[in-house]
Amino acid sequence: MPRSWIVALMVICVALNGAGFLWQLFEPVPFYDEIAHFLTPFTLVAVAAEIIYRGGGDDEFFDTPRHAVVTGAVIGLAGAGGWELVEVVLDIMGVPISHAILDTIFDVLLGILGGAAGAWAADRYLDRIFGRSRMDSNRPRVR
């Protein structure tokens, strides 16, 4: 993704999650929690793709659309699962966190979907930059 989009997504994520914790907006504001749990892994995967690209990586994790989506979903699963563990620790420390198992399952599902969507968007962007075919990254783009 363009660098300006990456920076904007990071600022939005930090503001969204920071405001959610500071003013406890996750539960009372409709869809606030859902947007945060989708947008955060989307941003993390897009940032990871940007780091791979800027670092001179050969883009092996985003070589085909299917591989990109699976990679993003796994990153989203790992991130969402890790975050749910952080929520357990926060709950033990006395921070008001939802205890509902369905909320946890839905948050992890949104993390997986957000990661997959972020990978799909990053893959499309990287394919355009590298001038590659959408279906086979080893071939040039055909118009």
User: Could you give the 3-state DSSP secondary structure of residue 140?
Assistant: strand
pLDDT at 138: 62
* pLDDT at position 141: 67
DSSP 27: T
What CA–CA distance (Å, rounded) separates 60 from 100?
38
What residues have CB less than 8 Å from 51, skipping those under 6 apart? none
Q: pLDDT value at position 127?
A: 75
Instruction: Give CA separation, 31 vs 12, 25, 65, 107, in Å.
Output: 16, 10, 29, 12
Q: What is the pTM of this model?
A: 0.86
> Which residues have a Cβ under 8 Å from the Cβ of 53 and sit 6 or more positions away?
59, 126, 129
pLDDT of the chain, 143 residues: tens digit per residue: 777 888 899 999 999 999 998 998 988 899 999 999 999 999 999 888 878 777 766 667 677 788 889 999 999 999 999 999 998 898 899 887 877 899 899 999 999 999 999 999 988 887 777 777 666 666 666 66
Q: Are 77 and 118 in contact (CB under 8 A)?
A: no
